[in-house]
Amino acid sequence: MADLKIMWRIPANPTDESRRTLFIDQIAETLDFISGRLEGAFLDDHFFPWAAIDHPGGREFLSNAVDTLECWTAITYWAASFPKLAFGALVLCQSYRHPAVVAKMGATLQLLTGGRFVMGLGAGWREDEYQAYGFDFPAAGVRLTQLAESIEIIKAMWAGGAASYSGRYYQIHNAYCEPTPHPMPPLLIGGGGEKVTLRIVAKHADWWNYCDTPEVFGQKLEILRQHCLEIGRPFDEIVKTWDGIQITVAESDAEAQRIFEASPYRRRGRVVGTPDRVAARLKQYIDLGVDIFFLRFDDFPEQRGIRLFTEEVLPQLQIAHANARQGAHV
């Protein structure tokens, strides 16, 4: 029976006026708090602030020089600083680093952390970042094929020995990845595309990550189940995870709404309310089979939300998860 795991989504950029070391100190304070309480911490793989996507100022918002952390560097640093936590990306953009290098980096980080790394991968989607950093931005179908090739290369290199691969977009020739990772990092694939992405998930993923309402999440699960059936893979082998991009929890609904309205984020999958209201919403995902939650708390850098979550929401979820999984195995 899988255990319930809660992972904190580290903000890649400040949500107040903080800059540089002050922002890093804010993150470190929260990582220190969750150590021993939650299971891990994950960071976005983006070069621009999330808020720039929806901000009325558009690209002009970026002229404010909002600090944005590079994912690999940051999680490596924090993994060394907080040895009780697992770390990973939610999720790495396959376009930004050659998959053979990613395989080598992941194997190294798994060794250095003693097995606390999760390899999260996605096809990539932020066209503004691609253009700004000089990456080609091909059609979605191409990026998904590149994702599948990246996964196959990583798996081949982690298997040990000289790995060679000749794909349409990526090639390697006698590439070594020693020491190979042990234990093998879970391969997390994010996305909900029904024809291609979920088929890649069915074929390759150890963990699947998606964010949407319980109704849409349930629909995606059924499509994933069908893909698993078609390729002959047990559906239950894949750990289901939910990405709560926006969690706002407070002592009252009014206070939660105030915090939510002040946030620059307005994303799907948001959960806003009192501890009981938040717990009730997240229990819906547990009932659908979710074992891991990735949660970003809107009131960061304050810790009232995450403290309230660990004290009043998490115990309810642990009970609901244990009951749901026990019932599933009766």
With beta carbons less than 8 A apart as the criterion, state whether 273 and 249 touch: yes
Evaluate if residue 220 carries a pLDDT over 80.
yes
Token pair listed for 14: 């400040």
- Kindly list the domain boundaries of the chain, sorted by start residue: 5-328
CA distance 267 to 140: 22
Other CB atoms within a 10 A radius of the CB of residue 232 amount to 7
Single-letter residue type at 32: D
Lowest mean pLDDT among 208-222, 264-278, 290-304: 264-278
CA distance 86 to 109: 11
Helices (H), 35-139: 51-54, 71-81, 99-113, 127-132
User: Which DSSP category does 193 fall into?
Assistant: -
pLDDT of residue 181: 97
| CB-based burial label for 282 (10 Å; 0-12, 13-18, 19+) | buried
Residue indicated by tokens 């990092």:
185
pLDDT of residue 221: 98
CA distance 30 to 7: 12
Residues with Cβ within 8 Å of 15's Cβ and at least 6 positions away in sequence, in order, are: 263, 264, 298, 300, 301
Evaluate if residue 25 carries a pLDDT over 60.
yes
Residue 262 banded pLDDT, cuts 50, 70, 90: confident
With beta carbons less than 8 A apart as the criterion, state whether 89 and 42 touch: yes
pLDDT of residue 63: 45
Lowest mean pLDDT among 25-34, 57-66, 230-239, 280-289: 57-66
pLDDT of residue 18: 86
CA distance 150 to 122: 10
CATH topology of domain 5-328: TIM Barrel (3.20.20)
CA distance 52 to 50: 5
- Taking only Cα atoms into account, the Rg of the chain, rounded to an integer number of angstroms, comes to 19
Rounded to an integer, the average pLDDT of 164-186 is 97
- pTM greater than 0.85 (yes/no): yes
Residues with Cβ within 8 Å of 218's Cβ and at least 6 positions away in sequence, in order, are: 288
In terms of residues, how long is the chain? 330
pLDDT of residue 1: 57
Token pair listed for 162: 């000289």
Evaluate if residue 91 carries a pLDDT over 60.
yes
pLDDT of residue 265: 63
Single-letter residue type at 119: M
Q: Is the peptide bond before 179 cis (omega within 30 degrees of 0)?
A: yes
Give, to the nearest 10 degrees, the angle between helix 99-113 and helix 71-81: 10
pLDDT of residue 134: 96
Evaluate if residue 55 carries a pLDDT over 60.
no
Give CA separation, 26 vs 23, 38, 46, in Å: 5, 17, 19
Highest-scoring range by mean pLDDT, 59-63, 195-199, 210-214, 324-328: 195-199
| Chain-centroid distance, C-alpha 296 | 11
pLDDT over 90 percentage in the chain: 84
Residue 263 banded pLDDT, cuts 50, 70, 90: confident
Average pLDDT for the chain: 92
Evaluate if residue 268 carries a pLDDT over 70.
no
